[in-house]
Structure 1
Amino acid sequence: MATMMKTFFLASLLVAAVCLEKGHSLRCFHCADASSNWDCFKTQMCPATDKFCVTTIIAAGRGQSDERQINKGCSSNCTERKVDTGIASVSTKCCSSSLCNVDGP
């Protein structure tokens, strides 16, 4: 009887862990080709395979004529990088908790 109860208890824990994992999917802010971070407050539920929220900012020009393109969303992999030529730059930031990609320029 005790062995059966232990088996039931362990099976229940396993089912609970699987359900919790599915219930806690990553959620990220999402936008495409936005010119301002104010346009990037929509959220999306990421597929189970995606483990990162990503923000990529492409900027070109100088001073008042600076133009930006902001892209945010979910990704299964991510490599942070920043390339700045003085006239144009590309920056990618990664994070791994829900709604962590809120920051922008």
Structure 2
Amino acid sequence: MARVVRKKLFARKRPCQFCLSDKPVTYIDYKNEEVLSRLVNLQGKILSSRITGTCAKHQRAVALAIKRARFVAILPYIGPVKKEKDVKKEVSVQNN
């Protein structure tokens, strides 16, 4: 029986969003919830660089920033990140 040889198709790596910006990012601020919440999944886990496309240098900085944001209670350790819209809806429902 002959072996079938298949070519491996590789997906193109996504470019790092921090390296591509006009001014290269040297520090990722842990207080910037908007950016950090995009790099965390619904369970609160840090997304891998394979999924987000960040380079190794910035992935280490992202991980450190997320850990700091969790410690200061800007991001939750587990569970979805609540947006301001969701909080306003909850408050309006409770007041009624």
Q: TM-score, normalised by structure 2?
A: 0.24
Which is higher, the Rg of structure 1 or of structure 2?
A: 1
Greater fraction helix = 2
